[in-house]
Amino acid sequence: MVKKPTNKVYVIGVGMSKFIKPRGQVDYPEFGLEAAIKALNDAKLSYDQIEFAACGFCYGDSTSGQRVLYQLGMTQIPVINVNNNCSTGSTALLQARNAVASGMVDCAMALGFERMQRGSLKSNWSDRTPPMDHVHNLMNEQIQYKGNAPRAPQIFGNAGVEYMRRYGATEDHLAKIAEKNHRHSSKNPYSQFRDIYTLDQIKQSPTIYGPLTKLQCCPTSDGAGCSIVASEEFVLKHGLLDQAVEICAQVMATDSPKMLSTDPIEWCGADMTRRAANTAYEQAGITSNDVQVVELHDCFSANELVTYDALGLTPKGQAHKLIDTGDNTYGGKYVINPSGGLISKGHPLGATGLAQCTELTWQLRRWAGDRQVDNVKYALQHNVGLGGAVVVTIYKKATNNFTQPHVGYNPAVEARSINKQDFANAAAKKANQAEYLQVEAKL
C-alpha cells in the first residue's frame, strides 16, 4: 500500500513552450530554458531558491537536464535525470513532489523536455532485448504482428478492437474522441495542431492500424514543460497560497501480471491505471464523481476509451456511453483533455506529464479563458508509459481566493516567448553565476 505523505505539497509555478513538429528547428536547451523560466516567473522565484530538480527526457544523452539548468545557474543542487517512457514528465514531477513531501527540501523543480526524431516511435537499440518484447510476442501469437504498422498503434489499436468486441463500442466512438480533442485544441495556443475536423474527416484520414486513422494518433513533437512544487511552510513564507494548487494525491504504479495475459486491453497498462487511480482516490478522500476536469493520456483514441474504464470515470464496459451522452466534453459531467490532449496538442514524451500539470493548474486558477471548465474543484491527471509505468495525480486549489497572472499577460491563453527580463528575473542571483550566464544564455 502506498502511504500518503504527511507533509502537504503545492504546485506554485508552471510553464511550457509551444509544442511543435520535430524538425530540429529548436534544440532542447532552448525548450527547457523557456519552460523553466516561465515556471520560475510564475512562482515569483529565482533559480537559486530551487533546492532539487528532476529532469525528464527520453531522446538525449545522460545529464541533459544539467545542460538545460546550468543556463540558469550552477548552484550545485541535486539534479536527477528521468526516463520512464511516455510517463517521464509525471515521473519527474513525482520525484520533485517526493523530495518536498519527505521534508528533504522545501522547493523543487520538475522539468521535462524533448527533441524527438521524425516519424513513429521506434527502438534506438537494435542489439538488445526491448522492454516490451513479451507483449510483442503475445501480440504476434494472438493477432499476428503487422510489419508495416508501428508497434505502438498496434498495441493500443488492438485494445480498442477488443473493447469494441467485448462491450459494443464502435469505430465511431473512437473517431468522436479524436474529433473532441482536435476541437478542444483549437483554443489552446500551445497546441501543435489547432485545426477542427468533422467526424467524417477523422474517419477518412489515412488508416494507421485497425480502426485507428491518422487523426486519432498523437504526433511526435518537440517542446518542454515545467512545474515548481513547494512545502506549505515555503508557500506561506513567500505569500503564494492563493495561487498554489495542492497535490492531494499522487500515485505511481507499474504493470501487474495481467499485462502478460492474452487480453489486449491489458497490454496497454489498464490494470496499473486501475491500481494507481483507486489508490489516488483513496488518498485524496474522493471518488471519480468529485472530479470536474481530466487530462488523460490519449496517445491514441483507443487508449482514451479504455482509460475511461480504468480511471473509474464509467462503470466497466460503458466507456462509449460517456461519449454518447456528451459527458466527456463541455456541458457534460467531465471535460476530458481540454488542452486538446496528446492527439492534437502533441506528445514530446518528457514534457507531456508536465504540460498536463500546467493545464490543470491553469484550470484550477480559472485562468484558462475560452477553454475554462466551470466550477472546477478537483482535477485528475493520468500519464502512462508502456513497459511500464503510470502516474495518477489529483489536484485542488489551496484556497477559494483567486489571483490574476502577474507576468504582464495571461500565459494560459497566450503563448509568448521569453525575453531578457524574464531571464533576469529567473536566473540565479548569486554573484559567482554572472559570467557563465552571460556566455551561455541565448535569448
Residue 86 is among the residues annotated as catalytic for this protein? yes
What is the three-state SS of the chain? CCCCCCCCEEEEEEEECCCECCCCCCCHHHHHHHHHHHHHHHHCCCHHHCCEEEEECCCCCCCHHHHHHCCCCCCCCCEEEECECECHHHHHHHHHHHHHHCCCCCEEEEEEEECCCCCCCCCCCCCCCCCCHHHHHHHHHHCCCCCCCCHHHHHHHHHHHHHHHHHCCCHHHHHHHHHHHHHHHCCCCCCCCCCCCCHHHHHHCCEEECCEEHHHECCECEEEEEEEEEEHHHHHHCCCHHHCEEEEEEEEECCCHHHHCCCHHHHCCHHHHHHHHHHHHHHHCCCHHHCCEEECCCCEHHHHHHHHHHCCCCCCCCHHHHHHCCCCCCCCCCEECCCCHHHHHCECHHHHHHHHHHHHHHHHHCCCHHHCCCCCCEEEEEEEECCCEEEEEEEEECCCCCCCCCCCCCCCCCCCCCCHHHHHHHCCCCHHHHHHHHHHCCC
Question: Of these residues, 86, 107, 268, 299, which one is catalytic?
Answer: 86
Q: What are phi and psi of 53, to 5 degrees?
A: -140, 140
Axis-axis angle for helices 171-185, 301-310 (nearest 10):
100
- Parallel/antiparallel/unpaired status of strands 212-213 and 107-114: unpaired
How is residue 89 written as a grid cell? Answer: 514528465
Residues labelled catalytic:
86
